[in-house]
Structure 1
Amino acid sequence: MVPVVHELADCLLEIEAELRSLGWWESRQPCAQSLASSQPFCVDTLAFEQWLQWVFLPRMKALLEQAGELPARSAITEMAEMAYMEMPGRTVTLRRHLKRFDRLLERHGQAGA
Structure 2
Amino acid sequence: MDARFPAVAQQILLIERELRVQGWWEEQAPSAEALASVEPFCVDSLAFEQWLQWIFLPRMKDLLEAGAALPRVSGIQPMAEQVYGQQARAQGLIVLLGEFDALIGGSAS
- Range class of TM-score, shorter chain: over 0.9
Q: Does 1:17 align with 2:11?
A: no
Distance 1:48 1:77 in 2: 11
Give the aligned residue type for 1:106: G
Matches within 5 A, 1:41-52: 41-52=41-52
Distance 1:34 1:18 in 2: 23
Q: Secondary structure at the match of 1:68?
A: coil
How many residue pairs were aligned? 105
Distance 1:69 1:103 in 2: 16
Q: Secondary structure at the match of 2:106?
A: helix
Distance 2:98 2:41 in 1: 16
CA RMSD between the two structures: 1.1
Distance 1:43 1:66 in 2: 28
Paired residue for 1:107?
Answer: 106
Paired residue for 2:28?
Answer: 28
Give the aligned residue type for 1:101: F
Percent of residue pairs bearing the same amino acid type: 50
Q: 1:86 to 1:93 in 2, by over 3 A?
A: closer
Distance 2:86 2:28 in 1: 26
State TM-score, norm by structure 2: 0.93
**What residue ranges of structure 1 are gaps of 5+ in the alignment?**
109-113
**What residue ranges of structure 2 are gaps of 5+ in the alignment?**
none
How far the C-alpha of 1:70 sits from its partner, in A, is 1.2
Flag as ranges the 4+ runs of structure 1 deviating above 2 A. none
